A and B are shown apart, each in its own frame.
Chain A
Amino acid sequence: MRGEKVRVQTTINGQAVEFLCEPRQSLLECLRDIVGLTGAKEGCNDGNCGACAVILDGRLVNSCLMLGVEAQGCQITTIEGLARGTELDPIQRAFLEQGAVQCGFCTPGLILATKVLLERVPEPDESQIRRWLANHLCRCTGYDKIVRAVKQAAAQLRGVRA
């Protein structure tokens, strides 16, 4: 059978995680099929929908465009790592309160994108939000309520930080 497996050591959602994968497997595939974290979604497998986005060493990446073996030594945050215990992250809460979720398939990627955006730009304006989210396709919402959710989360996070 094909595919000698490689051992990859990472930190996922704050926990040391070691997995074996074939060199050809994408990080998305590794997360979903090997590690069992299925919150990152496969929408296109070529980097054009953003549903597979995860945070890798502080950067938002499309996990379908990266090999699992390239994650050696990296810190990864997936959607599963956002809530603290039974407490939702303010971004997750804002998405719910603003009705920014319809089918929910693009939601994990959009929430993680929002997290990275607000870490860099705590008070983004409408066009900054739209430009940043333009890497993520959402077919259900028309984006309006997503933009509102990002604004609400930004306001709440500024309040928390202040």
Chain B
Amino acid sequence: MSERAYTVIGTRPIRHDGADKVTGRAQFGADLRLPGMVYGAVLRSPYAHARIRRIDVSRAASYPGVLAVVTAADLPEGPDRLLELVEGTLPLSYARANVLARGKVLYKGHAVAAVAALNRHLAEEAAALIEVEYEPLPPVLDVLEAMREDAPLVHEDLRMKEFGEPTGKPSNIGEHFRYELGDIEQGFAEAEVIVEREFRTVMVHQGYIEPQNATALWNQDGRLYVWTSTQGAFSAREAIAWILELPVSQVCVTPMEVGGAFGGKIRVYLEPVAALLSRKCGRPVKITMPRRDVFEATGPTPGTFIRVKMGARRDGRITAAQVWMAYETGAFPSGQCGFGATCMLAPYDIANLRIDGYDVVVNKPSTAPYRAPGATQAAFAAESVVDELAERLGMDPIEFRLRNAAREGTRRADGLKYQRIGCVEVLEAIKNHPHYKAPLGGPHRGRGVALGYWFNIGWYSSCTIAVNPDGTVNLVEGSVDLSGTRTTIAMQVAEALGLRVDQVHPRVADTDSIGPTAVTGGSRTTYATGWAAWEAAQDVIRQMKARAALLWEVRPEEVSFERGVFRAGDRSLSFAELAERLEETGGPIVGRGTVNPGSAGGSFAGAIVDVEVDPETGQVSVLRFTSVQDAGTAIHPGAVEGQMQGGSAQGIGWALGEEYYWSPEGAMLNSSLLDYREPTALDVPPIETVIVEVPEPNHPYGVRGVGEANIVPPPAAIANAIYRAVGVRLRQLPMKPSAVMEALWAKGD
């Protein structure tokens, strides 16, 4: 536990935006209504892969109530650049092509044209009148097939990069990279037990309940105003401006309340389209996505093929690991395979390892990050093999992991040397938890464990703090609040200034009103924006000390500040007393803070799960689930638990039921929330949480981001539990009843 005594940090205040969220007053993007606003609808491709021969919009354009129609012909064609998104980069040409297809459609659901009309129904009817002549092409839908030399090419112009260098070779492989430590030949030669297995996972969706939406107003002064559901107002501003070839300062993005994102709301989809429609009709245009479009045209996260080989000595030390992994990134490269490679062996100190990774395009929706992007699939493979190794060695799976656990100084697969990390502490917490030793209480039940890791991200954030004459402060921040970060950041300000948390009034600003701030992603917000807010608080303290010095006729260095009280000698003023006297001492005080940490301390998570397998149906029920995670310092323990429970539930869904189900032609067959089964309250048990606190060494309060690592362990932990319940190891996700039954029949049960 953290040793510093805090007043505000570690408490569980009610969120600042709480009342708005429970009264229906919170303004989500679709709730916005502007004077003169009209509605857009998007026409999407019925084919997974086709050339667009001709688009005729004349019937749509003349339909009653229609104000504008746009296609890719309305998009500018500028030079290519790389868009920096917090969890990956994307060439601008691809971002633009994903917004409205030019020349070719690359997946079913790819946007082709859009209409603005007086209401949503008219817009949808008109969109259906757009005539598109397609020349269907053979789609490539499987990651391994896409890698074959004779596979149809998704992009004629894509050239494979290998080990960072262009090869000039046309391919569906965007990139082949390799991470290597030590000498794997020697490592496997030292091994006394070797396990080698292959794993498959399929695409799953982030599954936020709020569909994508955007409202755009191309104002008569030439500026473009956009209101949208995004994880990053500034990254959205940049993407919109670049796609439309505008200076970024011509675009103002107002981030609305976001109804769930999980990585899926970093990209822009509708924003540039709404903007083009608004430019054509001179009115604000709102577009909201139907759920089917959310499934078919946003998100998902990659399906994978992963082969893992690991060797260990009889004394329980892992001597070598070799991985071959290919991720299907959908229509455009995504880079998530690299994240998976960075994270999958991160809990272990392995001297000899080699990971070969391939980013592969297929004719499926362009994949987006999903909570610890790329890591969950990879950990499913690695943690299943680790479990099997422990079993072959006759060792307890936690003892085996402890014997190989990464510590300060251990090298990660990509070469990074860890600062202080909490891997051992997470393992100890699992070992000491009553759940780990509790009786299972019935047949066909089993318990599994697994570890997960996410490296977390630093990056840039801006905050300002204005001091109010009543002794409170207004905090303005650039970070979109997805789940309560207004409060976790305000708590850090309150701690720094000696205030109560309700004396800090946080507000998320639009891109005209605050300095640049990177997206809410990478578990960075409470960490980096909290740090920026802390810096702004230090700026306030510096300025207020000078005011106190002026009043007391001492030098500013003689004024101290502790727990909300300024002192010099025997004189003192509380923060509120001094705040009241700003006008007479020189005027208002506004503190500012900006940070740009290059990295952040990573977070380890673990899961203990009990399952019961019905041998008649293959149905797997999760009976008990404990999530353990290193939070660094838990600013708001309730919010940390909420992250752990939410990530765990998503991991359970990924493990047992969620999947994109495809027709042979590449159409998603389950694009509704009826057929794509997200867990309900009946599908998950009460999720127990254990917060481990190993403070991050650089952050002023020791914060580690906690948003992501928690989703990583569940699929592997559940697979390991199923094995202990019924003796079969499932090596594909989801572990749905039919897959469990096939495994049981193959075993001869």
Contacts and interface: CB of A to CB of B under 8 A. Distances in A.
Interface of A: 1-3, 22, 24, 32, 36-46, 48-49, 51, 78-80, 82-83, 88, 92-93, 95-97, 99, 101-108, 111, 126, 129-131, 133-147
B329 to A, nearest CB: 23
Nearest to A111: B22
A134 B641 contact: no
Given A45-B290, A101-B15, A137-B209, A39 B257 contact: no
Contacts of B211: 42-43
Given A37-B24, A142-B648, A145-B645, A96 B64 contact: no
Given A80-B24, A140-B483, A46 B672 contact: yes
User: For this complex, into which size category does the number of interface residues on chain B fall?
Assistant: 35 or more
A94 to B, nearest CB: 9
Interface in B425-455: none
B597 interface: no
A104 to B, nearest CB: 3
B210 A142 contact: no
B348 interface: no
A46 B258 CA distance: 21
A49 B681 contact: no
Given A43-B209, A139-B260, A102 B483 contact: yes
B485 to A, nearest CB: 11
B78 interface: no
Interface of B: 12, 14-15, 17-28, 30-31, 33, 64-65, 118, 121-122, 125, 206-211, 257-262, 288, 290-291, 482-484, 638-639, 641-642, 645-650, 672-674, 678, 680-682, 684, 686-687
B291 A43 contact: yes
B14 A97 contact: yes
Contacts of A131: 681-682
Contact of B673 (A24, A43, A79, A146): A43
A80 B23 contact: yes
Interface centre among A40, A79, A93, A139 (most CB of B within 10 A): A139
Nearest to B262: A139
Nearest to A130: B681
A60 to B, nearest CB: 15
Contacts of A139: 206-209, 260, 262, 646, 650, 678
A80 B21 CA distance: 11
Contact of A88 (B22, B638, B680): B22
A45 B484 CA distance: 27
B482 A88 contact: no
Nearest to B674: A48
B681 A44 contact: no
Contacts, number: 184
Contacts of B687: 142, 144
A46 B673 contact: yes
A104 B209 contact: no
B24 A38 contact: yes
A61 B571 CA distance: 64
A81 to B, nearest CB: 9
Contacts of A78: 24
B645 A141 contact: yes
A138 B31 contact: no
B28 A142 contact: no
A22 B648 CA distance: 43
Contacts of B209: 41, 43, 49, 51, 103, 105-106, 137-139
B680 A105 contact: no
Contacts of A83: 23
Interface of chain A, helix or strand or loop or mixed? loop
Contacts of A104: 17, 20-22, 26, 257, 259
B717 to A, nearest CB: 15
A49 B290 CA distance: 13
A132 to B, nearest CB: 8
Nearest to B640: A99
B62 to A, nearest CB: 14
Contact of B19 (A43, A88, A111, A138): A88
Given A80-B23, A105-B208, 12 more contacts: A2-B121, A38-B27, A39-B24, A41-B30, A41-B210, A46-B291, A79-B24, A80-B25, A88-B19, A103-B260, A137-B680, A144-B686
A129 B680 CA distance: 12
A43 B261 CA distance: 13
15 contacts: A46-B673, A79-B24, A80-B23, A104-B21, A105-B209, A107-B22, A126-B686, A134-B682, A136-B681, A137-B678, A139-B209, A141-B645, A142-B646, A142-B647, A145-B645
Contacts of B210: 41, 43, 51, 103, 105
Contact of A39 (B25, B118, B291, B482): B25
B684 A143 contact: yes
Contact of B642 (A2, A82, A88, A141): A141
A2 B122 contact: yes
Given A24-B121, A103-B208, A106-B209, A143 B291 contact: no
B673 A140 contact: no
Task: Give the 4 A-B CB pairs with smallest separation, nearest first.
Answer: A39-B24, A105-B259, A104-B21, A142-B645
Given A104-B257, A105-B259, A143-B681, A44 B483 contact: no
Contacts of B672: 44, 46, 48
A38 to B, nearest CB: 4
B592 to A, nearest CB: 29
Nearest to A1: B64
A85 to B, nearest CB: 12
B24 A108 contact: yes
Contact of A133 (B259, B648, B681): B681
A102 B642 contact: yes
Contacts of A129: 681
Contacts of B19: 88, 96
Contacts of A99: 12, 638-639, 641-642
A142 B684 contact: yes
A26 to B, nearest CB: 11
Contacts of B28: 38, 41, 105
Contacts of A142: 642, 645-650, 684, 687
A132 B148 CA distance: 50
A42 B60 CA distance: 26
A143 B24 contact: no
A144 B625 CA distance: 11
A123 B649 CA distance: 26
